[in-house]
Amino acid sequence: MNNLISRNLVRLMPLVALVGRAAAQPAPDEQDPFTFADFTWQSGSARTKDSFLGNQYFTGEFRIDDVFHYSFNHPADDTIGGSTEAWRHGENQVTQLGIGGDFHVDRVQGRMMTQFGQLATTTPRNDASPGRGQWQLDNMYRYLSEAYGGYHFGDPHRGVNLQTGIFMSYVGLWSYYNFDNWTYQPSYVSSNTPWFFNGVRLQWFPSDRLKIEPWLINGWQSYGRFNSWPGIGGQVRWTPDANTILIFNQYALGTDVLGDPDRHRFHTDDSIQHKWFENPSSWITRMASTLTVDAGCERGGAVSCTGGDKPAQYFLGFMAYLRAWHGEQYAATIGGGAIKNPGRYLVLLPPINGATALSGTPYFSESPGDPWTSWDTQLTFDYMPSQFITFRAELTYRHASVPYFSGPGGITPPGGNQGAPGSQLTDAMGNVTWRPDLVQDEPRLSFALLVKL
């Protein structure tokens, strides 16, 4: 009898092992969201597949973005304006040094990323909301790009995340971190729309291919509220298959103009990314495209969406890119886009004489109805010897319908900034004694080293 039992157990052992392996693997309907395929080809998310900085409770992250920009306008003060990625000409600069990561204990979540380098100055200067009230919000958050906590509720479906704090925006498709993107300089649709939000988001995953994420936030890339209304919005992300990503972002109701509580902002930002060729044995191994279309307006107060008895204040734009890979180590991207934005309410204010979004400047008007049309293009080459590093060379050309970019004379008065930020320089008789040199075009070369660990 004992021998019979032993022989039967021996026969059953392979079946037991098979059942054990099946139990260890999650069922297809229990996969983590967006893990059913390899999406590291997309723009806007890091292409890294491995992480070595962490344990079961913490996954560390280290980023550095070091860059050299060369503007063919040769501004005398080496100051580049009108960009969220380029600020100095002819110099090596650290755009960002980020240290942080993700905490995950039971169902409790947390994420923190620092931002040292140029972003610690240039990001806060584009937010005018600290001008309302006290406590220096622009300094308080200066060295943080992400800081939020949350909780993962296991039901319904693939779960729900409730998170609050400062988190990245997806509006415009490109990521805040240049390592994650196909280009260094994003086109205007991405560069002139939010990089971060401060508020609360709820992430619901009805399936492993769909995310529905509503937001309740302080405003349009703002540390605080501009007036009495917060902003509401959200994202729907759907990946019907391994080759297609659809992203729909919406924003509404925020009163995002300081001192104008009756002006409300509305915006829609919609993108598709599609990988339409993959052949590891060919010289070009992969090709993919992106298309983003944006539309929005402001209404109330002194402006309207469509014009009439009030100036029309709206935003229309697109950007499109094509990327080709040679193996996993080489890639080239070409593309660009254009925007039309009467009133210039999303146009970045040039830092003329130290001007900020709060100070404004008489040298560059942002009054209702002010005309604005612009376009740009980028040609980018990437060498990626490892999943953790990118060497990037990029040629950018940008054009505006009015003088906007730094010309040879620069945008800083002789001897440095003078008077209040952005103020006009005049003599005792009120005559203007200095003007910035603004031009309509900016050709630029960029060379960057990008690391993510």
pLDDT at site 398: 98
pLDDT at site 30: 59
pLDDT at site 50: 85
pLDDT at site 181: 97
pLDDT at site 142: 95
Q: Which residues have CB under 8 Å from 352's CB, separation 6+?
A: 81, 361, 363, 364, 411, 422, 436
Domain range summary for the chain, segments of one domain joined by +? 31-452
Q: Which CATH superfamily is domain 31-452 in?
A: Porin (2.40.160.10)
pLDDT at site 157: 65
**Contact, 198 vs 124, CB < 8 A?**
no
Q: Give the pLDDT of the chain (453 residues) as one tens digit per residue.
A: 444 334 443 443 443 343 344 334 444 455 788 888 899 999 999 999 888 888 889 999 999 999 999 999 999 999 999 999 999 999 999 999 999 999 999 999 999 999 999 999 999 999 999 999 999 999 999 999 999 999 999 876 678 999 999 999 988 899 999 999 999 999 999 999 999 999 999 999 999 999 999 999 999 999 999 999 999 999 999 999 999 999 999 999 999 999 899 999 999 999 999 999 999 999 999 999 999 999 999 999 999 999 888 999 999 999 999 999 999 999 999 999 999 999 999 999 999 999 999 999 999 999 999 999 999 999 999 999 999 999 999 999 999 999 999 999 999 999 999 999 999 999 888 899 999 999 999 999 999 999 999
pLDDT at site 56: 86
